[in-house]
Amino acid sequence: MKRIISTLFIGALGGVFALVGNHYFSTQTNTNQLNYNPYSNPIHLTSSHATHSAASGIDFVMAAEKSINSVVHIKTVVENNNNLAYDPFQDWLFGGRQRQPNQMQGSGSGVIISQDGYIVTNNHVVKDATKIEIVLNDKRSFVADVIGTDPTTDLALLKVKVSDLPFASYGNSDLIKIGEWVLAVGNPLNLNSTVTAGIISAKGRNINILENNQGTLAPIESFLQTDAAVNPGNSGGALVNTAGELVGINTAIASNNGSYQGYSFAIPVNIVKKVVADLIEYGSVQRAFIGLSIIDIDSKMAEEKNINQLNGVYVNGLTANGAGELAGIKIGDVVTKIENVEIKSTAELLEQIAKFRPSDKINVSINRNGKEIILPIQLKNKENNLGVIKKSEIVKTSISALGAEFEELNADELSKYRLQNGIRIKRLLPGKLLHAGIKEGYIITAVDKRKISTIKDLLTLLETKSGGILIEGVYENGMRAYYGFGM
């Protein structure tokens, strides 16, 4: 009997514990379920002080903070390059009031590279611009001057008259590896100071986007390819590594619709450094030439030419008395290295040569019949000599590019045309003035709002002028006209 009572007591006690435990765990489960709403948006608020690292320990915060203040928003004004239609009735009715040219506005990005206001951007961002406004990340704005441009690399150097600016530190694009994380900083779609992340997808990309309009000077395309999101307005902005160092200038995207589709391209910073240094020191880029005609090697060519390797570029021709020929390079050689940098394509070879100036001496490694040879080479300029291009030659080239002969006006002629100053186009030759639609007899009164009274005034202005210019003037019949074009 006692055993039965004990069994019943233990069973009852176990039931009590089961009920209490079930109530406790049921309460906890219901509490968690109350915090869940299956119809809520998957948005989570995070603390502004959180510094969680991205991508398995890679922290982008420092790189973004270091670079964002050195990237600027560039706003441009481009004048319509056609002369204005002349309406004599409007002049008669309204007293011949001055008409303004049509204007187009553009925007892009730029990178401050010095404390005293030098800014690098893409040439296509400022091409033909008659006014360039720079807006800093702190919202201050300044008017910029064009120091120089290089269409062959799509780079331009600007200057603002201000000091103590935050600036980007140069990295080394030769050392960057495929797979490294990078940030693209710029102003896409007028969204100021936007930072996106991606990796280096490829190096030495030639996408045939730069126009070959510089005579014998072929464009240099050896882009860094990245999957960081880049859109219109990013052009000229910074591509930085995780240390916040500048490794490239964002330039182009591969897209079917004009917007980002996963592929963007940047000019390597080692090319940028050389172009900037030349523009500051000489006013133009001192392009070095190795004097070789080269082609990429594929398996079919390797078999046809009996080449035992696919790396390097094949020497298909030599410039007579050029740098390569004088150094002993022969047709059939394979260039494998420039200095200590391996060469895998023609784009990479052009990129490496672009870092040097005429008369610089470099070591070139070649493979000849399976044997590695290192040859010292002294590079030349486009005229196949060792000199650099002087500023006086730049002005001469600019005048030649205009394609005109000018004459100054005497006091009687100025009075006849009711002008205070101006020079007349006496004769037009093939050049930019003719292409813009200007006719002989046109009197130039101002260039970029600066009065032109003598031919010397025009020469002085052209000494420091690059990029777009706006010409104001009047024809002998009294019709005023404006013309804008790029130098």
Together in a domain, 217 and 350: no
- Domain's final residue, options 232, 258, 285: 285
Together in a domain, 399 and 369: no
Together in a domain, 395 and 353: no
Together in a domain, 306 and 274: no
Together in a domain, 66 and 140: yes
Q: Is residue 197 part of a domain?
A: yes
Q: Is residue 361 part of a domain?
A: yes
Q: Is residue 29 part of a domain?
A: no
pLDDT tens digits, the chain, 487 residues: what are they?
445 445 444 455 455 444 444 433 333 333 233 233 333 333 222 223 333 334 456 789 999 999 999 999 999 988 764 544 444 434 433 334 344 556 788 999 999 999 999 999 999 999 888 899 999 999 999 999 999 899 899 999 999 999 999 999 999 999 999 999 999 999 998 899 899 999 999 999 998 888 664 444 778 899 999 999 999 999 999 999 999 999 999 999 888 887 788 889 999 999 999 999 999 988 888 999 999 999 999 999 998 888 888 889 999 999 999 999 999 999 999 999 999 999 999 999 999 999 999 999 999 999 999 899 999 999 999 889 988 766 555 555 556 678 888 888 888 888 888 899 999 988 888 888 888 888 889 999 998 888 898 888 887 777 666 667 788 899 988 888 888 777 6
Q: Is residue 8 part of a domain?
A: no
pLDDT the model gives residue 309:
84
Q: Is residue 47 part of a domain?
A: no
Together in a domain, 366 and 468: no
**CB neighbour burial string for 109-125, b if at least 16 within 10 angstroms, e if fewer:** bbbbbeeebbbbbbbbb
pLDDT the model gives residue 254:
84
Together in a domain, 369 and 278: no
CATH number for the domain including 347?
2.30.42.10
Together in a domain, 396 and 415: yes
Specify the number of domains making up the chain: 3
Contact between residue 139 and residue 192 where contact means Cβ atoms under 8 Å apart? no
Q: Is residue 226 part of a domain?
A: yes
Domain that holds residue 368: 292-378
Contact between residue 172 and residue 269 where contact means Cβ atoms under 8 Å apart? yes
Q: Is residue 23 part of a domain?
A: no
Together in a domain, 161 and 239: yes
Contact between residue 168 and residue 63 where contact means Cβ atoms under 8 Å apart? no
Together in a domain, 160 and 242: yes
CATH number for the domain including 208?
2.40.10.120
- The residue length of the chain stands at 487
- Domain's final residue, options 235, 255, 285: 285
CB atoms < 10 A from the CB of 311, how many?
Answer: 15
The contacts of residue 193 (CB under 8 Å, 6+ apart) are 68, 71, 137, 185, 187
pLDDT the model gives residue 261:
82
Q: Which residues are catalytic?
A: 124, 154, 235
- Domain's final residue, options 347, 378, 409: 378
Q: Is residue 227 part of a domain?
A: yes
pLDDT the model gives residue 88:
43
pLDDT the model gives residue 130:
84
Together in a domain, 170 and 279: yes
Claim: this prediction has a pTM higher than 0.85: no
Together in a domain, 137 and 208: yes
